[in-house]
Amino acid sequence: MSKAARAVKAAKDVAKKVEHGNTIRSYIRAGRAAPGPPLGPILGQRGIPIGQFCKDFNQKTSHIKDGVPLPCYIHINPDRTYDIEMRTPPSAYLLLQAAGMNRGVHEAGKQVFGKITLKHVYEIAKIKHQDSPLQDLSLQDVCKQIIGTCRSVGVQIVRDLDPEEYKQFLEEVAETRKALDEKRALDRLS
Q: Which of 27, 7, 5, 4 is nearest to 15 (CA)?
A: 7
* Chain Cα centroid distance, residue 43: 18
The answer to whether 116 touches 158, Cβ cutoff 8 Å, is yes
Per-residue pLDDT reduced to its tens digit, 39-94: 889 888 888 899 999 999 999 999 999 999 999 999 998 888 899 999 999 999 99
The answer to whether 50 touches 40, Cβ cutoff 8 Å, is yes
Model confidence, pTM = 0.79
- In CATH, which of 3.40.50.300, 3.30.420.40, 1.10.10.250, 1.25.60.10 is domain 91-189? 1.10.10.250
* Chain Cα centroid distance, residue 126: 17
User: 114, exposed or middle or buried, with CB in 10 Å at 0-12, 13-18, 19+?
Assistant: buried
Per-residue pLDDT reduced to its tens digit, 129-156: 999 999 999 999 999 999 999 989 999 9
Give CATH for domain 11-86.
3.30.1550.10
Domain ranges of the chain: 11-86, 91-189
Termini Cα distance of the chain = 70
Q: How much of the chain exceeds pLDDT 70, in percent?
A: 89
